[in-house]
Amino acid sequence: MWIDTHCHLDAPEFDVDRSDVIARARAAGVTLQVVPAVMPSTFESARQAALDAQGAYALGTHPLYAHRAGRDPVAALAAALQQHGADPRLVAVGEIGLDHFVPELQDPASRRAQEGLYAAQLALAAEHGLPVILHVRRSADLLLKHLRRLRDAGRPVPGGIAHAFNGSAQQAQAFVELGFCLGFGGAMTFDRALQIRRLAASLPDHALVLETDAPDIPPHWLYRTAAERAAGAVSRNEPAELPAIGAVLAGLRGGSIEQTRARTTHNALTALPRLRGLGVLL
């Protein structure tokens, strides 16, 4: 079994053929997908997509969607966690985090708003004993600061996954020490992604999980240039691509595909412990 630890299966890009996408994933051996919400209005669609795929879901507001998340996304998350807290398919709070890359979100007020939203959602995860799925773009140190603050206050977040990780080796080690796994996907398949590939090759075995971020971050074999996209070419990622992405990871680490599948599956079950309970549901 392969586990896609980050797949936006509820995205509009899949509306026309979601059942076929799920079937292709299963045929490829990807029998479990984790579907993170991006804001309260997608909580139900993420949950339903997970049910359709017999997978799992996470609830939270992504920093890039904060401006569309309604008046009080923290209250909406608190209510949703209260409502669905006993659902075994709810495995994490996410996708939450900070984005210090997108230019329009880098003014001081936007950064403060992002940080406040992240801190509040992190506290809810700690309160409910749920791991977190983190959006990390040029923001690793500040994300770590808030995780350590809760830990030092005796209210630790029980680990989780730093999604699409592209930080330094020192930052990677800091996340691992806090009980996190690091997510690797399509970006790792590009030869020019030197830092990501170095991390994928050198991190401890227990630190890596696989993801697609479908429909986003397509692997190199699905990449289309801007000119090709302008001419109508489509570059939609799918969870069925995960085994081929896993083969790239195996090549970088010098292991077999089967070893990579077994190790990353074990790591996903460790990072998101509720996934273990879905064995009886699949």
What's the pLDDT score for residue 280?
43
How crowded is residue 245: how many other Cβ atoms within 10 Å of its Cβ? 25
**What confidence tens digit (pLDDT) does each residue in 178-206 have?**
999 999 999 999 999 999 999 999 999 99
Mean pLDDT rounded to a whole number for the chain: 95
Please determine, for residue 282, whether its predicted confidence score (pLDDT) is greater than 70.
Answer: no
Banded model confidence at residue 227, pLDDT cuts 50, 70, 90: confident
pLDDT > 90 fraction of the chain, expressed in percent and rounded: 88
Comparing 15-24, 105-114, 265-274, the range with the smallest average pLDDT is 105-114
Pick the CATH number of 2-280 from 3.40.50.2300, 3.40.630.30, 3.30.70.1290, 3.20.20.140: 3.20.20.140
Binding site for a divalent metal cation: which residues?
A: 6, 8, 95, 135, 163, 213
Instruction: Tell me the mean pLDDT in the region 224-248.
Output: 88
Beta-carbon contacts of residue 50 (< 8 Å; ≥ 6 apart): 9, 33, 34, 35, 56, 57, 89
Indicate the annotated binding residues.
Answer: 6, 8, 95, 135, 163, 213
Q: What are phi and psi of 32, to 5 degrees?
A: -145, 125
Secondary structure element (H or E) that encloses residue 122, with its range: helix 108-128
Q: What is the pLDDT of residue 71?
A: 84
More confident: 245 or 66: 245
- Give the pLDDT of residue 203: 98
